[in-house]
Amino acid sequence: MKKILLFILLCFAFQINYSQESYKINGETLELNTEIDGKLDLLWNIIDGKYRYFVRTDGGSISELKNTQDSDKKYQEEYKITLSSLTNGMSSDKLKLTLYSLRNYIDTYNASVDSAYTIISTKPKLALRLGFSGGITNNPFVSNPDNVKVPLIGAELELYEANVLPRHSGFLQARYTFNNDDFPYSTTEVSLGYRYRIINRSSFSIYGQVKLATVNFTAVTFTDENDMEVSVNDTSFDVPLIFGIGSDIKVGENSFITIIYGELFAVTLNNQGNFSTDIAVGYKLNL
């Protein structure tokens, strides 16, 4: 637990804020991103883990776009009324309270009232991020009586939506853990997984991840009951649901430093008695 807390504190130490401005709205001081700048501006950010959206008129008035629930848990969709009143009655019936939908709506309105306005909205587009990393592991789900730690290296492709600040992503990862004289076990693992960004900013994110499926190519050497050295190679497929946490820290226009605690615990695999040590540091770049 101490290692996890230290990891999170280190992540926060790198937090940087780039393209946000401070606004005072209804007694709150908020840091907001400007998504669209026109007759009607779209402002937003993720605050306390929730997306919040605002519109600003050319007179400087700022209104929050809300979608509260009543006592019956039914959404009231106040944002539709707010936007319809600010856009001279432009239909908002099919409008969703998402960044992509709001961006298209406000883009359309701005273009209808200003011939010089350039539409910036685009359709959702998937993009890839390539990463490389290296670190140490004690192979927490393999019998390791002396808690030996060995080096690991890895590479991955991460798939995400490029037109928004991505909260969800999928990844395909390959990694290799080395053996040594004290722990003659090595494995090449190929895994398919999912990430959810709990804290999600343009310059910094903290995410949880789960490895959904893995294929492992292992090599182990041991001494049998006849005092003979035996080497065994094996291939296995699992659906282990291995959970971890990580952070991406932006260091360039399209590049990130990544820190990841990759194997904290698993649903279908047993920890073999050692507290998990599975930490890697790496570099990612958008393709």
Taking only the tens place, the pLDDT of each residue in 108-135 is 899 888 888 877 655 667 889 999 999 9
Among 15, 13, 5, residue whose Cα is nearest residue 204: 15
Map tokens 């050319």 to a residue. 58
Calculate ∠ Cα 256-261-264, nearest 5°.
155
Question: What per-residue confidence (pLDDT) applies to 7?
Answer: 44
Average pLDDT over residues 242-252: 94
Taking only the tens place, the pLDDT of each residue in 69-105 is 888 888 999 999 999 999 988 998 889 998 888 988 9
**Distance between CA atoms of residues 273 and 146, nearest Å:** 10
* Residue 222 or residue 78, greater confidence: 78
Question: What per-residue confidence (pLDDT) applies to 19?
Answer: 52
Domain edges within the chain: 19-113, 124-286
Does the pLDDT at position 13 exceed 60? no
CA 173 to chain centroid, in Å, comes to: 15
Does the pLDDT at position 49 exceed 80? no
Q: What is the pTM of this model?
A: 0.61
Question: What per-residue confidence (pLDDT) applies to 3?
Answer: 45
Among 139, 201, 194, residue whose Cα is nearest residue 168: 194
Does the pLDDT at position 217 exceed 90? yes
Among 31, 25, 95, 118, residue whose Cα is nearest residue 63: 25
Does the pLDDT at position 46 exceed 50? yes
| Residue 226 dihedral angles phi and psi, to the nearest 5° | -95, 15
**Distance between CA atoms of residues 273 and 6, nearest Å:** 22
Does the pLDDT at position 201 exceed 60? yes
In this prediction, what percent of the chain has a pLDDT beyond 70? 90
Question: What per-residue confidence (pLDDT) applies to 212?
Answer: 95
Question: What per-residue confidence (pLDDT) applies to 189?
Answer: 96
Q: Which residues pair with 32 in a beta bridge?
A: 21
Does the pLDDT at position 152 exceed 90? yes
When pLDDT is cut at 50, 70 and 90, the band that residue 196 belongs to is: very high
The CATH topology of domain 124-286 is: Porin (2.40.160)
**Distance between CA atoms of residues 84 and 76, nearest Å:** 15
Do the beta carbons of residue 106 and residue 36 sit within 8 Å?
yes
Does the pLDDT at position 173 exceed 50? yes
